[in-house]
Amino acid sequence: MNDKKRSSFTGKIGFVLAAAGSAVGLGNIWRFPYLAAKYGGGIFLLVYILLAVTFGFSLMVTEIAVGRKTGVSAIEAFGRLDKRFTFVGYLASVVPIIILPYYSVIGGWVVKYLVGFAAGQGSAMADDAFFGQYLSSAAEPVIWFLLFIGVTAAVVMLGVEKGIEKVSKIMMPILIVLILVIAVYTIVSMDGALDGVVYYIKPDLSHFSVMTVVAAMGQLFYSMSLAMGIMVTFGSYMKKDISIEGSTHQIEIFDTGIAFLAGLMIIPAVFAFSGGDASALGKGPGLMFVTLPKVFDTMPGGTLIGAAFFIMVLFAALTSSISLMETIVSIFCDKLNMKRIPACLIVFGISVALGLLSCFGYSILSDVTVFGMQFLDFFDFFSNSILMPVVAFATCILVGCVLTPGAVIGEAEENGKHFRQKKLYSVMIRYIAPVFIVLILLSSILDFFGVVKI
């Protein structure tokens, strides 16, 4: 992106909405509930919230401030602050390239379920075996994936993101209402659902493991679109008179609130249908797709509600996939001096190639594993638990030790703004966050290579 052409968001609401549109997506609705179910319920929720208000807050303030201070996107920003940190910008830019393809594969699953409900096949989808059968067919998931990534690419290529964002602004509140309706319906009408609420809300230390923290941390990066340069880019568009601290709080509350509600919609339902059986809770990426159709099947008007639900989720997913692709395309344009359309086509090509691996990992390539993981799990794990912590660590070192936190605090206090949590911020970014990230990184690497099972 060219500095001179850099436009600004019109106001605080414009900035917060755009950043929230990128942050709220499948991460909140699909990924958060299955991790919370798998890694201990209430204890996962508690760890996640604690991390969000300390660590997530500090990192988001940092990224936005770095973007606004330098006025350029991530790949340039780090190098501008200190030449030795140029690599951080490049590393951060690799993350969306890995995430976009498999994100679009999940987006394809959403399209499949949307079409299924719209065609009145809701009951068939409520069958336990349905999701597995669908995934193991070689062709169908590929078609829906291509449709999803194709629409994403078309929107980015034609530059009509604004249109999607407008629709999404209407869809987002409806989605929140629907999630609430589904959650209340499940909890009130289904036997056993209340046990699920307890499991989800009440922290139980006996469910705690190191993986609870590893997973919560990875999820935090993913959900808040951190450690991949996206918030740096957003920050570069932010005007000086808008409060970085205030905006960060709003994005954080919004993003965590929606994730919390999504968990409340899914986990009690898992309990109602399985009695909280550990294998059902540990289902992983398929959890939402297996559980929700069963809820819709018992619900009056369930087919319609199911179709409406999946269409809202689709829009939330599209705003995120578009912002992922937009980021990659702008990197290609800036760094490789490419024109927009060829850059879009190349990014589309790379995404199709990597996405196909994730699709086939469940069907014809199901025997092939990378470090014992299927392709989709591998891409997810590698980006969230390895690359993002490395980027986050380097960011902390750059700001905490090289520039000193004062640089970010100064940026946050531009135009007479008061940075209320600056003490917490300084301590976090200088000491707690880097030490913590190294510990997390080491645990995930050890786990990754199967040295220890934690």
Interface residue list for ligand PHE (CB under 6 A): 22-23, 25-28, 222-223, 225, 228, 230, 320, 323-324
Both structure tokens of 103: 């994100």
CA 387, 206, 190, 120: dihedral to nearest 10 degrees? 20
Closer to ligand PHE by Cβ: residue 376 or 409: 376
Helices (H), 52-85: 57-70, 74-81
> Nearest Cα to 295, choosing from 313, 275, 274, 272?
272
- C-alpha span between 211 and 454 (Å, rounded): 6
The SS3 assignment for 370 reads strand
Residue nearest ligand PHE, Cβ-based: 27
Q: Output 27 or 306, the one with its CB closest to ligand PHE.
A: 27
Bridge partners (DSSP) of residue 373 are 370
Nearest distance, CB of residue 60 and ligand PHE, angstroms:
12
Q: Could you tell me the smallest distance in angstroms from the CB atom of residue 22 to ligand PHE?
A: 5
Give the number of C-alpha atoms closer than 13 A to the C-alpha of residue 225, restricted to the C-beta side: 32
Query: What is the full DSSP assignment across 137-196?
Result: SSSHHHHHHHHHHHHHHHHHHHT-HHHHHHHHHHHHHHHHHHHHHHHHHHHHHSTTHHHH
User: For 84, which DSSP code?
Assistant: G
Please report how close the Cβ of residue 221 comes to ligand PHE at its closest, in angstroms: 9
Nearer to ligand PHE, 233 or 426 (CB): 233
92 vs 428 by CB, closer to ligand PHE: 92
Contact yes or no for 385/68 (Cβ under 8 A): no
Q: Under a CB-based contact definition with an 8 Å cutoff, are residues 125 and 117 in contact?
A: yes
Given the complex with ligand PHE, which of 72 and 324 has the nearer CB atom? Answer: 324
Question: CA-to-CA distance for 287 and 320, rounded, in angstroms?
Answer: 21
Give the residue with the Cβ less far from ligand PHE, 25 or 218: 25
Q: Specify the residue, 22 or 358, whose C-beta has the smaller distance to ligand PHE.
A: 22
Q: How far is the CB of 102 from ligand PHE (least distance, A)?
A: 11
Q: How far is the CB of 55 from ligand PHE (least distance, A)?
A: 16
223 or 426: CB nearest ligand PHE:
223
Q: Smallest gap, in angstroms, from Cβ of residue 76 to ligand PHE?
A: 18
- Give the separation between CA 370 and CA 352, rounded to whole angstroms: 19
Minimum distance of ligand PHE from residue 173's CB (angstroms):
17
Torsion of Cα atoms, 21 then 37 then 199 then 432, to 10°: -70
Minimum distance between the CB of residue 387 and ligand PHE, rounded to whole angstroms? 12
